[in-house]
Amino acid sequence: MNGGQDLGGMHGHGPIEPEANEPVFHAEWEKRAFALTLAMGMPGGWNIDMSRFARENRSPADYLAMSYYQIWLAGLIDLIEERGLVGEDEIEAGHSLHTPKPVKRILSPADVAKTLHRGGPTERETNTAPAFKPGDRVRAKNINPPTHTRLPRYVRGHAGTIERVIGCHVFPDSNATGAGENPQWLYTVRFDGRELWGPDGDPASEISVDAWEPYLEPA
Amino acid sequence: MSGHDHDHDHEHSELSETQLRVRALETVLTEKGYVDPATLDILIETYEKKVGPRNGARVVARAWADPAYRARLLKDATPAIGEIGYAGRQGEHIVALENTPKLHNMVVCTLCSCYPWPVLGLPPVWYKSAPYRSRAVSDPRGVLADFGVRLPADTNIRIWDSTAEIRYLVLPMRPAGTEGWSEEKLADLVTRDSMIGTGLPKSPKDLAK
Amino acid sequence: MTHDHDHSHDHGSELSEMQLRVRALESILLEKEYVDPAALDALIETYEKKIGPRNGARVVAKAWVDPEFRRWLFEDGTAAIESIGYGGRSGNHLVALENTASIHNMVVCTLCSCYPWAVLGLPPLWYKSAPYRSRTVADPRGVLREFGIELPKDTEIRVWDSTAELRYLVIPLRPPGTESWSEEKLAELVTRDSMIGTGLAKLPQENTR
Amino acid sequence: MNGAADMGGMHGFGPIGIEANEPVFHAEWEKKAFALNMAIGVANIWNLDAFRFARESLPPSQYLNLSYYGLWVVTLENMMLDHGVATSEEIKAGHAQAPVKKSKRTIAAADVANMVRCGSPYNRPSPGPALFKIGDRVRARNIHPKTHTRLPRYVRGHAGEVTRVVGCHVFPDSNAINAGEDPRWLYTVRFDGRELWGENSDPTVRVSIEAWEPYLEPA
């Protein structure tokens, strides 16, 4: 979606403010929001693309005015409410009011280390051949789906070069909407700064994105 | 334009409101048995105390000290990093990017906050902020200037917009005057920002300070 | 995912805060004599009471009954509209857009809120809002649906993104069953939205007045 | 600039809030905010393009969360500060502080009707012949200036057709940064919806914009 999260190339957001000796978390509630989000992935049954979409799928006015973990929290609330795991009334009350919906399993303390170490690999077996090879000239398609996509607006319509064939990976555009993993070949595509930003671009800069095959056409 | 009026005074009340919301959520989810409170504590401890840029620094230091390891890292970083014992969530496919005198690499995620957790831990606030995410792809030199880094005009800058499952780790250049240093000592020179590309490693002189 | 879209900080607190801020500005500018208090009243009166979509409705009604005027209107909107006595601020270059059985015109300003003040008065809130500004250029049919308008599938939709210099006035189709109606009576059928393109002219039976 | 004002094609803002029998103003302060801006415009301390630039330069989170006239008020304050019309102490106090420096130009109530009638035309004598004519295929340049421009992001890089040669007009990109009026030829350019939004978009849609000559190149 062309939402508040698609920030590449926007102006007006002001200076970057690195914080000296920044702590990992800035408040107790951030730790809890972080851990709750990770812990709910297993009982909730959503995938990473669904949770990314849940975070970005809100008014850009809200997205840009919220802090990072506020966005996580809002995404988590949307996900659990949509699936009927928790009701708005329960969050309001701060207590469970209804019988819990049964879930397959929850993340136990003993499984945390193992689960984190395993992560969520997205590479899949395939018997198709990649359409492009390193060195090929490609153009990012001009697509504007209202749902989740990993193709940022600022590269759409622009031509670049295939730098790397990464492998066949779960396609987030499908996975985020519950339409299945639909694995597709994934490439690293390199763009020239001037190609993306015109005469205002830095001639000595190049920008790479990882793009799934459905995002690309021969240039 | 004008720099006035950019403060957001609603942040305070929002914080306490969010605090209450998180507490409510945790209570509800715990009462329903969806989460185990001990699990939450372990998750927090893992990312607050155990996983952090020190991991990445060890990877970089080994690559500086051991040419064979360097070659393995640049060829396929995921198993090379696994050798040292780092792997997993938000780092399932890692690619190492080699800085050279002619090429400087910098990593951003314009769409969200993709970051190599197993080697760098959780990203700092600025990495997730709109100013960094918006400008890193279109004005990398300006961004580097914000970090106090000035590169020669003829150094090429490569921006990696981490839009997918690949997580990038920048392998900075080994500082001069560190010949014969141990891996452990070298790791002390490797800053978090040097592995994102918004900084350079410390020099032996910096370390002495 | 429609929750959380309300902007609770938009109303109560902003309103009272803005009241105070505007009062402060007014006092300062009056004290420094940058503005004349009677001029402020005249400006408010003009745009609140005198200039509004009633002006545009008269233009449309005349175009419906007077073929000569209609021709002139599409040839030189500014001059034709001036002949009825409307023109001026934000209406210097007025262009009339002709709806036909196969073409429907719609006006938006994606970058700010350009609008033909001289014939329509000040724009309604929705015209200036992010939902309308963001979606009209990409999904005009979806926008029309929200206004309760469903056009035939093969109707061509022309969206005019009004970037300041030209201001557009849509001339809607004359409703059937209005043959021999007077200009005055016809003007009652012309809604504001029909002249922006988010509506159609009323049918005789819809005109209850 | 690629700021929050450049909304064309963005997702996530939700439904359009249509208000039945909407009043012209929603609060007394809105009337005053409107009239103050109109009246001080006559003093010619800044031009309208500069005012638009100041308004869109607000941080996107602020721009998107302020109401319409709220944006006017905040921008007016900023312009007054930037142009020495008032100090921040005066704005805080809500009064001019002695010694009061009075304005030389102002608008009297008697002049309002005339001002409303005459407006402020932006067309100027042409410095040379127009480069394009009706029917010409043109492409909107891929430019990303950090300052004011009237070329929205969603048309950049895309090809369309000149449907009207409007005349020679003050060039806002120049006027907004006080670099002079620099009049340029202005055209209406029509784009096919599928050219802008991709092959899957509505084939019956055409979108027109006004584009100054420096925004365009032959396609």
What are the backbone dihedrals phi and psi of residue B100, each rounded to the nearest 5 degrees, phi first? -135, 170
Starting at the edge strand found earlier in the chain, the sheet holding D159-169 runs: C103-108, C156-161, D205-212, D184-192, D159-169, D137-140, D216-218
Contact list in B for residue D61 (CB cut-off 8 A) is 8, 130
Backbone Cα Rg of chain C: 19
pLDDT digits (tens, 9 = 90+) for B134-175: 999 999 999 999 999 999 988 999 999 997 778 999 999 999
For D118-166, write each residue's pLDDT tens digit. 777 788 998 899 999 999 999 999 999 999 999 999 999 999 999 999 9
Catalytic entry in C13, C112, C129, C134: C112
Q: What is the pLDDT of residues C58-91, one digit of tens each?
A: 999 999 999 999 999 999 999 999 999 887 665 5
* pLDDT at res. A197: 94
The residue among A129, B170, C48, A177 whose CA lies nearest residue D22 is: C48
How many Cβ pairs closer than 8 A exist between chain A and D? Answer: 86
Q: Spell out the residues 6+ positions from residue C7 whose beta carbon is closer than 8 angstroms to its own.
A: A59, A61, A62, D65
Catalytic site residue from B112, B129, B138, B182? B112
pLDDT at C2 over 50: no
Nearest to B32 among A13, A27, A100 (CB): A100
Max CA separation in chain A (angstroms): 61
pLDDT, average across residues B68-87:
95
* Neighbouring chains to B with at least 3 Cβ pairs closer than 8 Å: A, D
Average pLDDT (C10-21) is: 71
C-alpha distances in Å from residue A72, one per residue of A172, B20, D47, D82: 18, 15, 42, 38
Give every CB contact of residue D37 below 8 A, 6+ residues apart in sequence: D51, D72, D76
Does residue B112 have an active-site annotation?
A: yes
Nearest CA in chain D to B129: D61
Closest residue to A74, CB basis, from C4, C7, C138: C4
Average pLDDT for residues A111-133, to the nearest whole number? Answer: 91
Task: Tell me whether the omega of the peptide bond preceding residue D59 falls within 30 degrees of 0, making it cis.
Answer: no
Q: How far apart are CA A108 and CA A85, in angstroms?
A: 18
The model's confidence at residue C6, banded by pLDDT at 50, 70 and 90, is very low
DSSP reduced 3-state for A202: coil
Q: What percent of chain C has pLDDT over 70?
A: 90
Q: What pLDDT is recorded for position D115?
A: 75
Q: C1–A62: do the CB atoms touch at under 8 Å?
A: no
Three-state secondary structure string covering chain B: CCCCCCCCCCHHHHHHHHHHHHHHHHHHHHHCCCCCHHHHHHHHHHHHHHCCHHHHHHHHHHHHHCHHHHHHHHHCHHHHHHHHCCCCCCCCEEEEEECECCEEEEEECCCCCCCCHHHHCCCCHHHHCHHHHHHCCCCHHHHHHHCCCCCCCCCEEEEEECCCCEEEEEECCCCCCCCCCCHHHHHCCCCHHHHHCCCCCCCHHHHHC
B16 catalytic? Reply is: no
**Residue with more model confidence, B165 or B104:** B104
- Beta carbons of B48 and A25 less than 8 Å apart: yes
Q: Verify whether the Cβ–Cβ distance B111 to A10 is below 8 Å.
A: no
Q: What value does the mean pLDDT take over residues A188-202?
A: 91
User: Which of D63, D82, D90, D177 should be substituted to probe chain B, the one whose Cβ sees the most B Cβ atoms within 10 Å?
Assistant: D82
- Based on the residue annotation, tell me whether B113 is a catalytic residue of this protein: yes
Q: What is the pLDDT of residue B59?
A: 98
ipTM: 0.82
User: Is the pLDDT confidence value at B41 over 50?
Assistant: yes
How many angstroms separate the CA atoms of A192 and A161, rounded? 9
Chain D hits for A2, Cβ within 8 Å: 9-12
**pLDDT (average), residues A190-207:** 90
Confidence class for position B15, pLDDT limits 50, 70, 90: low
Instruction: Report the Cα B129 to chain-centroid distance in Å.
Output: 14
C151-178 core/surface letters (b: 16 or more CB in 10 A; e: else): eeeebebbbbbbbbbbbbbbbbebbeeb
> How many secondary structure helices (H) and strands (E) does chain A include?
8, 5
- For residue A166, the 8-state DSSP code is E
* A10 touches D: beta carbon within 8 Å: yes
Please indicate whether residue B129 is annotated as part of the active site. no
Inter-residue contact C186 to C178 (CB < 8 Å): yes
**Chain centroid to CA A9: how far?**
18
As a dihedral over the C-alpha atoms of residue C73, residue C79, residue C83, residue C87, rounded to 10 degrees, the angle is 110
Which residue, among A24, A76, A165, would best test binding to B if mutated, counting the most B CBs under 10 Å from its CB? A24
CB C89 within 8 A of CB C117: yes
**Minimal C-alpha gap between C1 and chain D (Å):** 10
Inter-chain CB proximity D78 and B2 less than 8 Å: yes
**Which residues, given as ranges, of chain D have pLDDT below 70?**
none
